[in-house]
Structure 1
């Protein structure tokens, strides 16, 4: 079993209204938000650090273009005043956001990553975290992605895209666990809030 330090941080990526836009297409993990919510409740209960990341796109066509409702956090993932909030303009939450410095200042070495999109912001952030030496966990059932076409036009189902992204991360960058394993690693007093 993986045990988590008392200052292991839960990093919630891009849980904003825009991610529910129909134009993004079919997705996998329909219960991902429930798993994220359970993890968030457990982190708050155990008083471990929670970090929210908001994407502010530089692309006017993005669901995360500043000034529109898509940039707002989903109600269930609205940060508390005591929780850290970082904004990013590229998929990687550790790139030019100040997050890495913030983590180092607090001697946080363990990151537990949830959110969207598995093969974009989650994967990019987890790769950087692993490269920077953080003990990184990606929670497989607390992330999701969408169907995607490759460069030859083949349509890949979201579940396949998700599985491949997690497999890539497991090679060198992060451990892949499910939410039950993570909750168990918080200790007996913190299971499911």
Structure 2
């Protein structure tokens, strides 16, 4: 499945920030260590084809958060760092649509298809994807360019990152988006 340039798809890269390198802080057992490399492949493809790219950056209000604007973890990871001409959308909640002008920018550019990758699968990727689907965008989530961490359940049981990742993707697929892999998008 290769996206056609005439679809004018936008690449939405969510929260690829240095603060997520502290695995223990986020719950441990991060899955998919290749997520950033796959996101870089997508980004390189979008840049080579002159397609729109939106970098989403979380700015936590919590001064102790790794993603607070005063902490070095707030910075984008070097592997997918935005170029000066690429759009940065800053958010303070899970959805890249709330409290931002992302929807307005997409609509102004006539963009109706979104390819989403980022951190973390079950939080900001999921929330943004759900809203994108509800707004009527043709939405794709790139499974191998997303990742998450382990979480404790309501009864104290621990679910590893891969379990959290797979269940989050299962909830999105064919409901809010189509879940794909990098090679399906760039047709390598």
Q: TM-score, normalised by structure 1?
A: 0.92
Structure 2 CA distance, aligned partners of 1:116 and 1:146?
A: 9
2:71 maps to 1:68: yes
Structure 2 CA distance, aligned partners of 1:2 and 1:140?
A: 16
- Provide the aligned length of Structure 1 versus Structure 2: 185
The 8 Å contact of residues 5 and 110 in structure 1, kept in 2 or not, is answered as no
Q: Give 3-state SS (helix, strand or coil) of 2:115's partner.
A: strand
Structure 1 CA distance, aligned partners of 2:30 and 2:119?
A: 11
Give the equivalent residue in structure 1 for 2:18. 17
Give the equivalent residue in structure 1 for 2:125. 122
CA RMSD of aligned residues (A): 1.1
Unmatched runs of 5 consecutive residues or more in structure 2: none
* Runs of 4+ that moved beyond 4 A: none
The 8 Å contact of residues 4 and 110 in structure 1, kept in 2 or not, is answered as no
Q: TM-score, normalised by structure 2?
A: 0.95
Structure 2 CA distance, aligned partners of 1:143 and 1:45?
A: 22
Q: What is the CA-CA distance between 1:77 and the residue it aligns to? A: 1.6
Q: Using a 3 Å threshold, how does the CA distance of structure 1 residues 163 and 38 change in structure 2: closer, same or farther?
A: same
Structure 2 CA distance, aligned partners of 1:170 and 1:5?
A: 23
